A and B are shown apart, each in its own frame.
Chain A
Amino acid sequence: DAKTTQPTSMDCAEGRAANLPCNHSTISGNEYVYWYRQIHSQGPQYIIHGLKNNETNEMASLIITEDRKSSTLILPHATLRDTAVYYCIVLIYNQGGKLIFGQGTELSVKP
């Protein structure tokens, strides 16, 4: 299984960009990288996913390195409501599409 490694926690100042790193050195060529977040006592919320190219949507940007062994989620202007646990997940090819969550990064956005 492709596993991911994330820092346990990070702080970010409100209004600044939050850059959340993730290592996935054993990823296979056809496996997607997904990012979800979970605000306290809520279900996980989908943010973005990508395969090889960088991706951007209304919530965030995803930068994947050329060798695909790591990625960075960027929240361009973090707000207090972005305080959450952020999960980087590699979708296992040919295993039912289930997401295997790790411990995630606890992001605290501070005023």
Chain B
Amino acid sequence: DTGVSQNPRHKITKRGQNVTFRCDPISEHNRLYWYRQTLGQGPEFLTYFQNEAQLEKSRLLSDRFSAERPKGSFSTLEIQRTEQGDSAMYLCASSLSLDRGVFGANVLTFGAGSRLTVL
């Protein structure tokens, strides 16, 4: 178990370009979450998957953002036509959940994040 892995760790891009981040969760975890964090703020929820199904998307996830988890293992978060306001740390987390929506305890393990800078 190597924890949650995120790549790339840092990405600098020009406004208007597309970027993609990858998250490899802990292997037995069936839930995967994406968060965004800007400087001085707590992480903000974007979306989550149970296996390959995307079960919830935040209103923060505009139509320029798309997330996939095609085989229920790794996930990608793509941002199209990046804007300077997209500059942030993008965090991925995973957890093992036995229930589909009704929860008791649910411990999320976070990755180190992917920092995006849009020039």
Contacts and interface: CB of A to CB of B under 8 A. Distances in A.
Interface residues of B, number: 29
B102 A94 contact: yes
B77 interface: no
Interface string A39-60: 0001111100101000000000
Contacts of B42: 85, 87, 101-104
A99 B91 contact: no
A44 B110 contact: yes
B68 to A, nearest CB: 18
Contact of B104 (A30, A46, A102): A30
Interface string B102-119: 111111111111000000
Nearest to A102: B42
Nearest to B50: A96
B12 interface: no
Interface of B: 4, 31, 33, 35, 41-45, 48, 55-56, 91, 93, 95, 97, 101-113
Nearest first, the 5 A-B pairs at minimum CB distance are A101-B42, A43-B110, A97-B106, A97-B103, A101-B43
Interface of A: 30, 32, 34, 42-46, 49, 51, 85, 87, 91, 93-104
8 contacts: A42-B113, A44-B110, A87-B42, A96-B103, A98-B33, A98-B45, A100-B45, A102-B42
